[in-house]
Amino acid sequence: MADLYVCWDEYRRATETLARAVGRSGWRFDQIVCIARGGLRVGDTLSRIFDIPLAIISTQSYGGEGGTVRGHIRVAEHLTMTTARLGSNILLVDDLVDSGITLDVVKRHLEAHFSTTEGVRTAVLWYKAVSIVKPDYFVHYLPENPWIHQPFEHYDLMDAAESLER
């Protein structure tokens, strides 16, 4: 199984394809929640396209060399948002669903901790077959389990000093 390398243009096209899939579904949502860090770019773009408020929830499950070692998932207690309360129909977005644990844990966290939540649907760019959950919306189904190299990952290996030298 080969790794999957994604350039910025492919990433942009996949995000726009995801937006079309969500829009064509006819489902009405009033809040987007993105899972940071990977879902930030996807969430920001969808928020702009649909003109829907964006909320951010932070999680961490990967660390180590280049952020490639999976560990215990940690979910932030609070959301960052500009609205007074979380919307009732939420589109929960991330860049990919790998094991599915993060998407599942965050979805259950939103349903359990925010009483205004009526419905949560999920959207990702890449859905791996090894996932324990199937997202409601996705662009690419990956029957294998490749490591996805996204265009922004080189920053994980760069420190501030190196960045300043460039």
Helix ranges restricted to H, 8-64: 8-25, 40-50
- Say what the pLDDT of residue 107 is: 94
- Helix, coil or strand: residue 93: strand
Q: Which two tokens stand for residue 75?
A: 């979910």
Q: Which two tokens stand for residue 29?
A: 């949502």
- Say what the pLDDT of residue 72 is: 79
- Say what the pLDDT of residue 78 is: 82
Q: Which CATH architecture describes the domain 4-157? A: 3-Layer(aba) Sandwich (3.40)
- Tens-digit pLDDT profile for the chain (166 aa)? 689 999 999 999 999 999 999 999 999 999 999 999 899 999 999 999 999 999 999 987 755 555 555 567 888 888 898 888 888 999 999 999 999 999 999 999 998 888 777 899 999 999 999 999 999 999 999 999 999 998 887 676 777 676 667 6
- Say what the pLDDT of residue 118 is: 85
- Say what the pLDDT of residue 62 is: 57
Contact 121, 134 (CB under 8 A): no
pTM: 0.86
- Say what the pLDDT of residue 163 is: 63
Bridge partners (DSSP) listed for residue 146: none
- Say what the pLDDT of residue 166 is: 66
68 CB-side CA count, 13 A: 11
Q: In Å, what is the CA distance from 103 to each residue of 10, 78, 92, 127?
A: 23, 16, 8, 11
**Centroid of chain to Cα 44:** 10
59 C-beta neighbours (distance < 10 Å), count: 21
